[in-house]
Amino acid sequence: MDKAEALNKMKILVQKLNEASKAYYQEDQEIMSNLEYDKLYEELEKLESSTGIQLTESPTAKVGYEAVEGLEKVSHEVPLLSLDKTKAIAKLVDFLGEHAGLLSWKLDGLTIVLIYENGVLVQAVTRGNGSVGEDVTHNARTFKNIPLRIPYTKRLLVRGEAVITYEDFETINSVITDETDKYKNPRNLCSGTVRQLDSSIAAERPIRYYAFSILAQNDVNQNDQKSKLNFDLKSHQLTFLSDIGFEVVEHLLSTKESVKEDVSAFRKKLSDLGMPSDGLVLTYDEIQYSISLGSTSKFPKDALAFKWADELVETTLRYIEWNTSRTGLINPIAVFDPIEIEGTTVNKAGLHNVSIVRQLELGENDKITVYKANMIIPQVAENKTRSNTALLPEKCPVCQGSTEILKQKGGKSDADGEIGEVLYCLNPSCQAQLIGSLVHFCSRNAMNIEGLSEQTLEKWVDRGFVSDYTDIFALESYEDKITQMEGFGQKSFNNLMTSIERAKDVPLANFIFALGIKHVGLSNAKLLCEQFGDIETIIEKSQDIDALLSIKGFGEAIANSLQVYFADTKNLAMLEKIKDTLRIKSAKKIDSEALPGKLQGLTFVITGSVNHFNNRKALQAFIEEHDGKCTGSVSASTSYLINNDTDSSSSKNKKAQSLEIPILTETMFLDLIRGH
């Protein structure tokens, strides 16, 4: 079996073993026997040993989640310059001349450099400004397809792109019911995920990495016969990266005679690519020739970015549709005469907010041009008429309640963090908001009540069965009426009652998330619950802004939102009404013999997996409860490094050893605080 076959076999084994583990541990199903699992596991271990490759998703890889205090700035060893751009194929022809080129996708994600030493991933750094990036190693280790270990022991710097597919983007956005919290595009989602301080968040999101070059070839000793990296061509670099476990960007060799046809072939594939691409990259294949060209102050001279020329189609705007979301945000959508763009028929395009409507000076029957951003998402490019006659609704389109224009700093939904104007419905009893909040309350990551679709909830709200989330747990009183409804017989009703009864056993974090508090997603709800433990304490501490801001990752927006929600007497009344109905599982607290103040003045760094505590966050919370401090990286100010694998060759262990900082197991740590 050659290396390519072995690598492919490893990928198949990893998928099978992970499917079996998920079925067994999460779904209470056994899809293969223990004997078969062990046999496949041993086969995977042997292949990893023989190839020297260990994939990120491999069940043999023990990757603990890590939370860092902040993203450290890292200077790049090799500057990561941006590329000069063109939309003209003729320029690509001139660029190539008599040289062969390497043509590949220009993926629209986040550029990251992976650094390997002694065959192990030791650091991952974002591109940043090209000279200085951010250390995101803790998150890179959770990417779905990078090798944690490779069969090459010299220093290796790999440049590639981290991306999230359109399908995964839609899936992640679909469970975010607050329109203002939805991510604008896959690139924003990928960038925001990679730059999270807590790697457990990145681990939940399927980020993939595609390598496209090796940096600083001297670092891989191309003239060292032992290294076998005698690269003359960049295409050979990509073959090497593929052989040692990387997924490399799709590419082909191109010449001035073939480049026009090659670009066309890539463009035809774009709709099936499944991930964002804003063009192609053309670079000379010959490495020494590339090096001889040097660079300008902005761009390398050996590569050129080819940007897709957007297909602009003219149509007539018929009207602007305004949709009210669960939070009261009223979103504008341009509705126009159907047109064909990039192979599909479209008649709507999101306008994002009031500011965009005003900037385009839209009005009914205006002539507009429409394109697909990254050839996927319809957008209005230009308004040729600019009648500026579109009226902003003074009444909510759902409840006819009053509306208000608010200024909002951009984020996931707006471009580049700029201030934008948004339209809100001011009626808290708006049916659109009620239906949206009920759908969110019942959703999988919230109360997980199966059988309550948006359409069903609308019918029950209309009939007066449900006026807020507490009424869901009193639906048995409407059994006769519900079972007589079309499409909802006795069996469906019984199944629903079973699902509602099951949902009464709910973890505190899922319940907090179900309440739909603005800016409080599931990950923030978990942090809140880990800090305060039970619902009564959360209500009490919600009015203490300083206490809320002390939670890592919590800013003023989250703190203010929690304070407003739990100060509302209507919300408190619903909580009081339902508290005896639900069986809310409070967050676990760690008991110990440690005395308050025992850890005062000590600074800890935690790495690796933990055994005595639920997770590293629980251990961190325990340390901070006893006046200790936790940071994400080892430095001269670190008092102790906690790692159950004291002999690990990890970068943190090495740094601690070089600074003569003690490395403790959990047992040693507990002995320390107990004074043993």
Residues assigned a catalytic role? 106
* 331 close to 399: Cβ distance less than 8 angstroms: no
3-state secondary structure string across 499-528: HHHHHCEEEHHHHHHHCCCCCCCHHHHHHH
Q: How far apart are CA 366 and CA 311, in angstroms?
A: 19
Through-space distance between the first and last CA atoms of the chain, rounded to whole angstroms: 55
In this structure, how many other beta carbons lie within 10 angstroms of the beta carbon of residue 386? 14
* 71 close to 135: Cβ distance less than 8 angstroms: yes
Q: Is the alpha carbon torsion for 121, 126, 132, 136 positive or negative?
A: negative
Give which of 180, 230, 16 is closest to 517, Cα–Cα: 180
Give which of 196, 181, 101 is closest to 142, Cα–Cα: 196
Q: How far apart are CA 198 and CA 177, in angstroms?
A: 22
Beta bridge partners, 505, equal 583
Beta bridge partners, 313, equal 370
In this structure, how many other beta carbons lie within 10 angstroms of the beta carbon of residue 352? 19
DSSP state for residue 305 in the 8-state scheme: E
How many helices (H) and strands (E) the chain has is answered by 24, 26
Q: How far apart are CA 431 and CA 324, in angstroms?
A: 9
- By CB neighbour count within 10 A (0-12 exposed, 13-18 middle, 19+ buried), where does 617 fall? buried
Give which of 61, 76, 95, 83 is closest to 157, Cα–Cα: 76
* 282 close to 229: Cβ distance less than 8 angstroms: no
Q: Report residue 412 as tokens.
A: 């996931």
452 to 178, 449, 484, 485, 495: CA distances (angstroms):
19, 7, 17, 14, 11
216 to 133, 210, 265: CA distances (angstroms):
17, 18, 31
Instruction: Report CA 224 to chain centroid distance, whole Å.
Output: 40
Residue whose token pair is 């006819």: 400
Q: How far apart are CA 40 and CA 17, in angstroms?
A: 7
DSSP state for residue 72 in the 8-state scheme: P
Contacts for 65 with CB less than 8 Å, ≥ 6 apart:
138, 142, 198, 199, 200, 203, 615, 616
Contacts for 580 with CB less than 8 Å, ≥ 6 apart:
none
> Residue 531: what residue type?
Q
Q: How far apart are CA 615 and CA 612, in angstroms?
A: 9
The vertex-180 CA angle with 471 and 192, nearest 5°, equals 120
Identify the three-state secondary structure at position 544: coil
| Sheet hosting strand 85-86, strand order edge to edge | 85-86, 303-307, 277-284, 101-107, 251-254
